[in-house]
Structure 1
Amino acid sequence: MRRVCVQGLEKLGEGALDAPEDVYVDAAAGGALYTATSDGWMQRMSPGNGSWERWRFIGGTGLLGIAPSADGAMLVCDADKGLLRVGEDGVVTLLASEVEGTRIRFAEAAIEASDGTVYFSDASTRFGLDRWFHDFVESRATGRLLRYDPRSGQTSVVLDSLGFANGVALPRDEAFVVVCESSRCTRVWLKGEKAGKAETFIDNLPGCPDNIRLGSDGHFWIALAQIRSAWLDFVTRWSLTKRVVASFPTLLEWLQATAKGAMVAQVSQDGRIIRVLDDSEGKAINLVTSVTEFNGDIFLGSRATNFIGKLSLAQGAHEQGAVPS
C-alpha cells in the first residue's frame, strides 16, 4: 500500500457551497457535479464553464448523501426527514421516514441497485445530525442498513446494531452491499451461497470510514474522518468515561475540536487497501466526508468547508513512503 500527500487541491465553488457533504458526478452529462448543502439546496456545477447554480430547493439543514436514480431523479438522504426522491421536475417526494414501526432518525447515505432497490443507512436511532458526536462517543451501535423496495413502497431492515452506519456502496456485479461504520466497513452478501450473511469487509483503516463510492476501475474510494485521538481513545475505552463526557457538552465540543486533517483510501473489491491520500494537518481541506472519482480526478466533499475539493490523481499527490497494510 502507498501513502501519498495531497498536493495542488482545487477548490470548486468556494464560498458558494454550505457544508457539501457528498458529491455525485454525472458522466452522461459530461461531468456535471451535484451536491446537497446545509442551506437546503441541491446545487449543480456545469462541466463547461465551472459555474454553479442552485438547481433544486429541498429545504432543511440536514441534507447529506446523494445518489442518482435510473429514472433521472436524485435520491437524497435528509438526516431529519428520511429518504427523499428529487424528480427532474423539482418535485420532492418522501420515500421513507420510518421502518418496521420505528422512526428513521438519521438518514445518511444511499445507493440504488439495478432493479431499483435502494439501500441506505440510518446512522443512529438515538441521536440526530445535531448530536452525531454524542453517538460516536457513546459507541452504542444503534445504526442500521435499510432497504427500500420501490415496487411495494416498503422499507425493511437489512442489518442492525451498526456503529454509526454511514456510506453505502455496491460493486459492479451487485453481489454484496457495503456499509461503513465508525471503525470498519461491513458487507452483506446479496447473491450466491453467502446471500444474507454479514461479514467484515475491511477494518483497521487509518481513520473512521465515512462515505464510500465505487470507482471507475471497480475499486472503492472511502473517505476517512480523522476523529481518532489519544484523548478520544481514552474516553471511549470505558463505559463510565463515555457516560461522563457525554453528559458535559463543553467536553464533547473540546474533543470534537481535536479532530483535524483529511484522508481518503482506495480499497479493492476484496477489502485490501491500495493507496491512501493524506492531508494530515488539514492545510488543503479538513474533515473529508465523501470522495468521488471521475476521469482521473477525485472530488472531495466536507461538512467543514464551503467548497468541493478537486484533485488530479496523476499530478496532485506525491508519495510519502510505504504504510504497512
Structure 2
Amino acid sequence: MEVKRLTCLLSIVLLLLLLPPPLAFSYETKAIDKLQSIDKIELSSVSGPESLAFDNFGEGPYTGVSNGKVLKWQGKDVGWAEFAFNSRHRNAECGVYNNVLFESRCGRPLGLRFHNKTGDLYVADAYFGLFKVGPNGGLMSELASGAEGVPFTFTNGLDIDQETGVVYFTDSSMHFPRSENALVVISGDATGRLMKYDPQTEKVTVLKKNLVYPNGVAISDDNTYLLVAESTPCRILKYWLQGPKTGQLEHFADLPGYPDNIKRNSRGEFWVAMGKKAQPNGLTSRSALDNPVALRLSKEGKVLEILDGDISLSEVQERDGTLWFGSVEMSYIGVYKA
C-alpha cells in the first residue's frame, strides 16, 4: 500500500516538474490607471481617436475622429488642426458632430499609416473604403471601395510594407457596417477579408476570405509575415508573405480580450490593444487581472507585458520609450512616458 502511495506521489511530482510555469510569472503587468505621468491630449467637440499615425518627420500624432476627418496634433501652443477630409465634408451636415448615426453619411477613419518614402497617408474609412492623401493633407483620394465585385462594408485596420508600398488591410464583415459591430460578434459572422492594395497596379487582391471579424494588421520587421487580429475568437493569426509558407495562415496567439489594432515597435515586438475583456482563459485564470486592455507580444507570440485598467483601448503605439493610447470611445489620446 505504501509503495503504491509513494509511486503515485512521485508521478504527481514528475508531472508538476514537466508543466510550464504559471503565466503570471512570465510577463510584466502594469495597471494603466495607476501609471504615473500619463498625459492626455484632449480633443475638442469630437471623440474617438481610434488609430494613430506619425509622419516620416516624427510629427503628429495624426488621428481619425468621430466627424469623419483626420486631425494632426501640432503641439500645445497650436493644438489640433484639420489635416484630411473626404468629399462628403463639403456638405453642411458633415461638420462637427459626435454621433454614430452620421458615420454612414460622412465617413469614419479607422486604420491610418504613412508610407515613409512618399509621405502619403493611407486611411481605412469604415464606410467608404481605402483612401490616400498627400503629405500636405487636404482632400483624400479614393483608392478602392470593393474587391472582386463585392463592396467593402466595414473597412478597418491597415499596415504598409515600407519597401514596396503595398498596403494590407481588412474588411471586417460583408454584412454588418461599423455601426452594427456588435452584431458581427453576436452572429459569429465569418465573412471578413484580408486584402492588399498595390499602388503600382492600383489593384486590390483578396488574400484570405471567411475570416471572423478581422481587425488590425501589422507587418513583421523583416516583411516575411503579417499579423491579423480576429476579434470574435480573441486571437491573432499569422499570414506568411514570403518563404515556403507563402499564402498560408496559422495561429499566432490567443488573447484574454477582443483584439483591435496591432502595432509593431522598434524591437519587432507587437502591441495588441483590446476593447473588452473576454471569458477567462489560460492567460487570466492564474493572474489577478481585472481588465486587460493591451498586450505586448514577442515575435514568437509570447506575452511579454500586459496593461490592465478600466478604459477601452483600440490602439497602443510605442515610440522611443513612450506609449501612445488611442480609443474609439475616449475624447483624448493618452501618453505615457516610462
What TM-score do you get using the length of structure 2 for normalisation? 0.78
Q: Which has the larger radius of gyration?
A: 2
Residue 17 of structure 2 aligns with which residue?
Answer: none
Deviation per CA, 1:218-238, whole angstroms, max 9, x where unpaired?
Answer: 1111101215369xx9xxxxx
Decide whether the 8 Å contact of 1:31 with 1:47 is kept in 2.
no
Residue 141 of structure 2 aligns with which residue?
Answer: 93
Which one of 289, 304, 308 corresponds to residue 278 of structure 1? 308
Residue 32 of structure 1 aligns with which residue?
Answer: 60
Distance 2:323 2:127 in 1: 29
In structure 2, runs of 5+ residues without a counterpart are 1-26, 90-105, 282-289
Which one of 296, 304, 323 corresponds to residue 266 of structure 1? 296
Q: Percent identity?
A: 31
Distance 2:45 2:263 in 1: 24
What TM-score do you get using the length of structure 1 for normalisation? 0.81
Residue 106 of structure 1 aligns with which residue?
Answer: 154
Q: Number of residue pairs matched?
A: 278
Q: What amino acid maps onto 1:20 in structure 2?
A: P
SS of residue matched to 1:132: helix
Change (3 A) 1:118 1:40: same
Which one of 302, 308, 314 corresponds to residue 327 of structure 2? 302
Distance 2:58 2:149 in 1: 42
Which one of 84, 97, 112 corresponds to residue 66 of structure 1? 112
Q: What amino acid maps onto 1:63 in structure 2?
A: P
Distance 1:24 1:16 in 2: 21
Q: What does 1:203-222 align with in structure 2 at a 5 Å threshold? A: 203=254, 205-222=255-272
Q: Which has the higher contact order (CA 8 A, sep 6+)?
A: 1
Q: What amino acid maps onto 2:154 in structure 1?
A: F
Q: What does 1:179-198 align with in structure 2 at a 5 Å threshold? A: 179-182=228-231, 183-198=234-249
Distance 1:133 1:160 in 2: 20
In structure 1, runs of 5+ residues without a counterpart are 234-259, 315-325
Deviation per CA, 1:90-122, whole angstroms, max 9, x where unpaired?
Answer: 231111111011111111011111211110000
Distance 2:184 2:135 in 1: 35
**How much has 1:262 moved relative to structure 2?**
6.0
Residue 2 of structure 1 aligns with which residue?
Answer: 28
